[in-house]
Amino acid sequence: MEEEAKGGAGSAVEAEAEAEAEAVAPPIQAAEAEEGADAVVQGMVETVEEISAMSEFRNAYRKLFCNLSRRIKLLAPMLEELKESKAPIPAKAIETLARLREALDSAKELLRLGNEGSKIFLVLEMDRIMKKFQEITSKLEQALAGISFEELDISDEVREQVELVHAQFRRAKEREDTSDAELYNDLLFVHNKSTESDVDAAILRRLAEKLQLLTISDLKQESLALHEMVIASGGDPGNVIEKMAMLLKKFKDFMQTQDPEMGPPAKLNAFSPNGKSEAPRIPDDFRCPISLDLMKDPVIVATGQTYERGCIEKWLQAGHLTCPKTQQKLSNTSLTPNYVLRSLIAQWCEANGIDPPKRSLQPNKPPSACTCTEHAKIIDLLQKLSSQNIEDQRLAAGELRLLAKRNNDNRICIAEAGAIPLLVSLLCTLDVRTQEHAVTALLNLSICEENKGRIIISGAVLGIVHVLKRGSMEARENAAATLFSLSVVDENKVTIGTSGAIPPLVSLLSNGSQRGKKDAATALFNLCIYQGNKGKAVRAGIIPILMDLLSEPGAGMVDEALAILAILSSHPEGKAAIGAAQAVPILVEVIRSGSPRNKENAAAVLVHLCNGEQQHLHLAEAQERGIVSLLEELAENGTDRGKRKATQLLERMNRFLLQQKQAQAQAEAQAQSQSQAQAQADPSVLPASAAFIDG
């Protein structure tokens, strides 16, 4: 394994294990009979928290959205008290709470539309939106009316607050809100005008103010909302979406005349006023979500979304630290070129007779520092690499491997000279040493972020998988490490997973050398962060192999095995396979004597196992092995994450023990009752004292 290429791989496993385990919450089933009161209440708590996080509703229906959101937030104290209550909730009350949960979920979707959706769409579909408000208000009022407070363990103060909220919903249900007909008519009037110059500026200004489309940020958000709707339409936008596109363009044109610093108005060439294409329809994935224009220089941000470089740079320079499309906080502001998409855009342009978009120059990007001598040497090596002489190919691949290991400038220079496709062509060579050099050279080149995209575009993944299956042990090790390096880019996780890489990685994890197992583990961990790859790994038989590694501490793979188990346990197939592998005793032992990081990962796996159909079985087994005291110790002295996982398990264990005690008491009472009934039915069966008196 090339030492420089592998640096930090182990730490990535630890860091990403924590992120994955924290990100995945235990699934909540839909059927109330299966999930019980705890899950129903927890689901409502989470829904209200999501609604509370929706900070603003800047649209024409702001008052309606704010009133609905405010009333729902007032239900939070009741839900918190129910969550913390130790008193059991009757079955009838659970059914009532389940109806409230359903109403809250419907309200959340409507509020999300008001928070993130298109402002123009809300007006164009005003009749449907108003009807939705009425339906949800009615559902919430009926659900609250069905609550019997005598059956619930909540305080008088909270009860009074809920009754007040119920009264507000009842009045809102009886009151019929009217929509803004003038706003709707103005929008249609503007839409029907052929150009923005035909519309009175006062009307456009009034519309912009009512719709809250007053800033460049507002227009960008509206563009994103429109982009999402076009994607959801499957590339076949209906009449409403086409109206929205035309109206948005007119608002952009108008705001451009009011604020020249906004830059040129965005072009929405995909839509014409009559709904017909005037030019080849640009695929939605080729448009920047911010500007809706065909991308010239697509780049990937930390969340995995792709934007036009100039647009996202302006967004970041304005002080925004979130992804415009997902609103997730960016872990970093680095921009990675999306070579795959850029190539696809160029191919589409060529196929449709359109000049491909020209990238803007990046004056701040430093040129490659590769010297003339080194450049000449690289060109000479590429000529040998292209020859049909096996000796020349082996020599050239080995030299490129060493040059790529030396520094980043060499990596850039080698890639720009066109070495990657030539190295990829050698991955299937029958010469073992040449194959080892080729895959290791690609590994070293992949350290450079820009080269990752070039390697993927070249179709290298299938060749790397071939090496992983049939190469020497050294070649397989470095093939696994290359896949790990490439999978750092989120979209590459999908590409690698669908290429058939996971089964041979699992095989290497099972029968590889010590270094091969480490390489396979880091690659599998990274790939399984993507949900779609987890099932593939489980079906490839990874769980029994991981359990074997856990059972052999001397093999030095316990850390990696637990990290992978922690993320696979969040997948239904993974959880089932771990449970079937008799994992509980081993996990309890890790919590007893493992390292702090391994203890928290073991606890994370148990959190998932002890949830769902088999939870009582696993809880009982864990209790028999003395886990309660171990969890109490972990909750007191473990890492922060370990404390949280231990606390979750203790709560589930306490509920389980309480249910056991109640079941035992019920069984004893039933047995005593049966004994008394039998004594009454058969006078000969009497207590000893009674027999003595009769005698």
Q: Is residue 1 part of a domain?
A: no
Most confident region among 26-30, 109-113, 182-186, 373-377 by mean pLDDT: 109-113
Please state which of the ranges 176-180, 350-354, 509-513, 576-580 shows the lowest mean pLDDT.
176-180
Q: Is residue 467 part of a domain?
A: no
Most confident region among 63-72, 194-203, 502-511, 630-639 by mean pLDDT: 502-511
Most confident region among 7-21, 62-76, 469-483, 541-555 by mean pLDDT: 469-483
Q: Is residue 676 part of a domain?
A: no
Mean pLDDT (whole number) for 260-282? 45
- Are 441 and 541 in a shared domain? no
Higher pLDDT pick, 299 / 242 = 299
Confidence of residue 265 (pLDDT cuts 50, 70, 90): very low
Q: What is the pLDDT of residue 212?
A: 72
The last residue of one of the domains, among 128, 152, 179, is: 179
Supply 97's token pair. Answer: 């709470």
Confidence of residue 240 (pLDDT cuts 50, 70, 90): low
Using the structure block, give the residue that is written with the tokens 């020497």: 472
Q: Is residue 679 part of a domain?
A: no
Residue 87 belongs to what domain range?
37-179
Q: What string of DSSP letters covers 71-84?
A: HHHTTHHHHHHHHH
- Are 189 and 173 in a shared domain? no
Q: Is residue 609 part of a domain?
A: yes
Confidence of residue 198 (pLDDT cuts 50, 70, 90): low
Confidence of residue 241 (pLDDT cuts 50, 70, 90): low
Q: Give the CATH number for residue 409.
A: 1.25.10.10
- Are 250 and 310 in a shared domain? no
Q: Is residue 358 part of a domain?
A: no
- Are 508 and 407 in a shared domain? no
Residues 518, 522, 528, CA angle at the centre, nearest 5°? 140
Q: What is the pLDDT of residue 82?
A: 87
The last residue of one of the domains, among 574, 604, 619, is: 574
The last residue of one of the domains, among 523, 546, 574, is: 574
Q: If 0-12 CB within 10 Å is exposed, 13-18 middle and 19+ buried, where does residue 367 land?
A: exposed
- Are 41 and 172 in a shared domain? yes
Phi, psi of 564 (to 5 degrees): -70, -40
Q: What is the pLDDT of residue 7?
A: 43
Q: Is residue 74 part of a domain?
A: yes
Q: Is the separation of the CB atoms in 78 and 101 below 8 Å?
A: no
Report the chain's mean pLDDT, rounded to a whole number: 78
Domain count, the chain: 6
Please determine, for residue 25, whether its predicted confidence score (pLDDT) is greater than 70: no
- Are 310 and 429 in a shared domain? no
In the chain the first and final C-alpha atoms are separated, in Å, by 94
- Are 99 and 51 in a shared domain? yes
Please state which of the ranges 33-47, 452-466, 599-613, 641-655 shows the lowest mean pLDDT.
33-47
Mean pLDDT (whole number) for 653-664? 80
Please determine, for residue 275, whether its predicted confidence score (pLDDT) is greater than 60: no
Please determine, for residue 360, whether its predicted confidence score (pLDDT) is greater than 60: no
Please determine, for residue 444, whether its predicted confidence score (pLDDT) is greater than 90: yes
Please determine, for residue 610, whether its predicted confidence score (pLDDT) is greater than 70: yes
**Which spans in 76-180 are helix H?**
76-84, 91-116, 119-124, 126-145, 156-174
Query: Cα(340)–Cα(420) distance, rounded to whole angstroms?
Result: 15
Please state which of the ranges 222-236, 271-285, 445-459 shows the lowest mean pLDDT.
271-285
Write the DSSP symbol of residue 150: G
- Are 307 and 398 in a shared domain? no
Residue from 621, 531, 615, 610 nearest 573 by CA: 531
Please state which of the ranges 80-84, 172-176, 308-312 shows the lowest mean pLDDT.
172-176
Q: What string of DSSP letters covers 282-334?
A: PPGGGB-TTT-SBPSSEEE-TTS-EEEHHHHHHHHHTT--B-TTT-PBPS---
Q: What is the pLDDT of residue 180?
A: 64
Residue 304 CB contacts under 8 Å (≥ 6 apart), including other chains: 490, 491
The CA-atom distances, in angstroms, between 646 and each of 42, 229, 326, 626, 652 are: 19, 43, 32, 14, 10
Q: Is residue 44 part of a domain?
A: yes
Q: What is the pLDDT of residue 8?
A: 39
Q: Is the separation of the CB atoms in 24 and 573 below 8 Å?
A: no
The CA-atom distances, in angstroms, between 273 and each of 191, 220, 269, 281 are: 8, 21, 10, 14
Phi, psi of 232 (to 5 degrees): -65, -25
Q: What is the pLDDT of residue 11?
A: 39
Whole-number percent of the chain with pLDDT over 90? 19
Query: Cα(360)–Cα(357) distance, rounded to whole angstroms?
Result: 9
Over the stretch 379-431, which tens digit does the pLDDT of each residue have? 889 888 888 899 999 999 999 999 999 888 888 889 888 889 899 999 999 99
Confidence of residue 217 (pLDDT cuts 50, 70, 90): low
Over the stretch 645-658, which tens digit does the pLDDT of each residue have? 888 888 888 888 88
Residues 38, 44, 46, CA angle at the centre, nearest 5°? 100
| Chain mean position to CA 111 | 21
Residues 153, 155, 160, CA angle at the centre, nearest 5°? 120
Please state which of the ranges 11-15, 152-156, 459-463, 610-614 shows the lowest mean pLDDT.
11-15
Whole-number percent of the chain with pLDDT over 70? 77
Higher pLDDT pick, 534 / 53 = 534
Using the structure block, give the residue that is written with the tokens 């999501």: 50
- Are 43 and 175 in a shared domain? yes
Query: Cα(467)–Cα(135) distance, rounded to whole angstroms?
Result: 59
Over the stretch 153-177, which tens digit does the pLDDT of each residue have? 887 778 888 888 898 888 888 876 6
- Are 55 and 154 in a shared domain? yes
- Are 167 and 198 in a shared domain? no
SS3 annotation, 603-617: HHHHHHHCCCCCHHH
Task: Name the pairing type of β-strands 306-308 and 336-337.
Answer: unpaired
Confidence of residue 200 (pLDDT cuts 50, 70, 90): low
Please state which of the ranges 11-15, 146-150, 151-155 shows the lowest mean pLDDT.
11-15
Q: What string of DSSP letters covers 350-410?
A: HHTT-PPPPPPP-TTSPPP---HHHHHHHHHHHHHHTSS-HHHHHHHHHHHHHHHHH-HHH
Mean pLDDT (whole number) for 472-479? 94
SS3 annotation, 222-270: HHHHHHHHHHHCCCCCCHHHHHHHHHHHHHHHHHHHHCHHHCCCCCCCC
Which pTM value belongs to this model?
0.48
Q: If 0-12 CB within 10 Å is exposed, 13-18 middle and 19+ buried, where does residue 614 land?
A: middle
Q: What is the pLDDT of residue 26?
A: 33
The 10 Å Cβ neighbour count of residue 449 is 15
Residue 23 CB contacts under 8 Å (≥ 6 apart), including other chains: none
Q: What is the pLDDT of residue 665?
A: 78
**306 bridge partner residues:** 300
Q: If 0-12 CB within 10 Å is exposed, 13-18 middle and 19+ buried, where does residue 604 land?
A: buried
Residue 122 CB contacts under 8 Å (≥ 6 apart), including other chains: 59, 60, 61, 113, 114, 129
Q: What is the pLDDT of residue 489?
A: 84
Please state which of the ranges 161-175, 334-348, 576-590 shows the lowest mean pLDDT.
334-348
Please determine, for residue 626, whether its predicted confidence score (pLDDT) is greater than 50: yes
- Are 323 and 430 in a shared domain? no
Residue from 269, 361, 263, 256 nearest 315 by CA: 263
Please determine, for residue 237, whether its predicted confidence score (pLDDT) is greater than 60: no
Q: Is the separation of the CB atoms in 242 and 275 below 8 Å?
A: yes
Q: Is the separation of the CB atoms in 515 and 480 below 8 Å?
A: no
